[in-house]
Structure 1
Amino acid sequence: MENTDDKTKALVLIDVQRGFDDPSWGARDNPGAEANTARLLAAWTGPLVLVRHDSAEPGSPLRPGQDGNRFKPELDAARPDLVFAKRVNSAFHGEVDLDAWLRGRGITDLVLAGIQTNMCVETTARVGGNLGYRVSVVLDATFTFGLGGLTAEELSRATVANLSGGGFAEVVSTDDVIEDLARRR
């Protein structure tokens, strides 16, 4: 991770919602994702953005008004600078113009974590990279589910290849982020 000022780097937590605990999603990878998200939050000192997926699907556990739409308990102590909802994969296409909000605060670097690795996290990383942000994806603070005959683990590996191989983002660990934060203190 490139060493930058705390105020120019934002932590963006994407769709860390209770609805992803619903068994209908199937088998997931990375059972330690929530614990790593809590570790990131405890160490984070810069701007914090929480993004929530408000599904329009009638049976979705992520629909507004459902308990599954709420953030997971690991975010209960979070003191975000911005909270907003989206209905699509990219956090850059939500109720708030995230790009304008970030640029207005001089933020140049994004640290992304959340759910699902190969969906909303990867899409946000790709768009962020295309917009010129230096993006880091904290892989061990994400998880996903099997899809289209591929396991969750295979999809996570594909995300790593897509993001790092495609030049969209650097893939890092929670320990990498925490060590970087400690070096700057």
Structure 2
Amino acid sequence: MHFDPSTTALVLTDPQNDFLSPEGVTWELVGNSVRENNTVQHIDQLLAGTKAAGYEVFISPHYYFPHDHQWEFGGTLEKKMHEIGMFDRPGPLSLEGFEGSGADWLEQYKPYIQDGKTVVCSPHKVYGPEQNDLVLQLRKRGISKVVLAGMSANLCIESHLRELLEQGFDVAVVSDATAAPQHPELGDGYAAAMTNFNYIAGAVMTTDEALAALTA
């Protein structure tokens, strides 16, 4: 894949404390994978590199509001997210208690995300971008190629990858700027995601490879 700032953007899913901080509610499940992949630092490098090279950055966040907890069914991890209060906020129009919460951005990413240029989309609700405005925002900026990173590999990243491909985007996944749950019964989410990425993504790159291609 060849990248150009006029047609290519970095898309990050869920760069939030509940996934990437040791204090986050999912750290017991994802912490080992985050450490093994050096995910936090690699996302930081992608943000710094793409910003410096003039690429646009889009964030597809995950928030749950009180009315979302009234859903009557859901998948295994979806139910778990509701049970543990993952990404919880008091309401769609309130930032009460947001600063430093599990739903907040990882502190080191804030200078990039809150620079007045990054596009923060409306929240996705399960895993994919079908329910938020990511595709609209990308198309309105003339973006046709996406470099995809963030959390978590086998859930939101894979779901975003599949939907963006179906919507006609060319998508590269950054393999070490993501991580996934590891569970003794449910299995290794990272390994499962990497298998699928290699089958369906336009490219699968490390952070170093992605930055080299973006700045070539």
State the TM bucket, normalised to the shorter chain: 0.7 to 0.9
Task: Give, in angstroms, the shift of residue 58 of structure 1.
Answer: 6.0
Answering whether residue 213 of structure 2 is matched by residue 180 of structure 1, we say yes
Residue number among 26, 34, 47 corresponding to 1:30 in the alignment: 34
Residue 77 of structure 1 aligns with which residue?
111
Answering whether residue 65 of structure 2 is matched by residue 61 of structure 1, we say no
Residue 87 of structure 1 aligns with which residue?
125
Residue 72 of structure 2 aligns with which residue?
none
Task: Give, in angstroms, the shift of residue 181 of structure 1.
Answer: 2.3
Residue number among 47, 56, 70 corresponding to 2:56 in the alignment: 47
Decide which moves more: 85-94 or 19-28: 19-28
Answering whether residue 7 of structure 2 is matched by residue 8 of structure 1, we say yes
CA separation of 1:25 and 1:43: change in aligned 2, threshold 3 A:
closer
What pairs with 1:93-132 in structure 2 (closer than 5 Å)?
A: 93-94=131-132, 96=133, 98-132=134-168
Task: Give, in angstroms, the shift of residue 9 of structure 1.
Answer: 0.6
Larger-Rg structure: 2
Look up the SS of the partner of 2:47 in the other structure. helix
Give the TM-score of the pair, scaled to structure 1: 0.86
**Equivalenced residues, count:** 177
Look up the SS of the partner of 1:68 in the other structure. coil
Identity of aligned residues (%): 26
Where structure 2 has 5 or more consecutive residues not aligned to the other structure, the ranges are 69-81, 90-96
RMSD value, Cα: 1.9
CA separation of 1:118 and 1:8: change in aligned 2, threshold 3 A:
same
Mapped partners of 1:69, 1:117: distance in 2 = 18
Decide which moves more: 57-66 or 36-45: 57-66
Mapped partners of 1:132, 1:72: distance in 2 = 31
Mapped partners of 1:54, 1:23: distance in 2 = 14
Give the TM-score of the pair, scaled to structure 2: 0.74
Task: Give, in angstroms, the shift of residue 4 of structure 1.
Answer: 2.7
Supply the AA of the counterpart residue of 1:38.
D
Supply the AA of the counterpart residue of 2:192.
A
Look up the SS of the partner of 1:3 in the other structure. coil
Task: Give, in angstroms, the shift of residue 148 of structure 1.
Answer: 6.7
Mapped partners of 1:63, 1:51: distance in 2 = 15
Decide which moves more: 174-183 or 72-81: 72-81
Mapped partners of 2:44, 2:192: distance in 1 = 25
Supply the AA of the counterpart residue of 2:125.
R
Task: Give, in angstroms, the shift of residue 182 of structure 1.
Answer: 2.6
Where structure 1 has 5 or more consecutive residues not aligned to the other structure, the ranges are none
Residue number among 165, 170, 182 corresponding to 2:203 in the alignment: 170
Mapped partners of 2:106, 2:84: distance in 1 = 20
Q: Which has the higher strand share?
A: 1
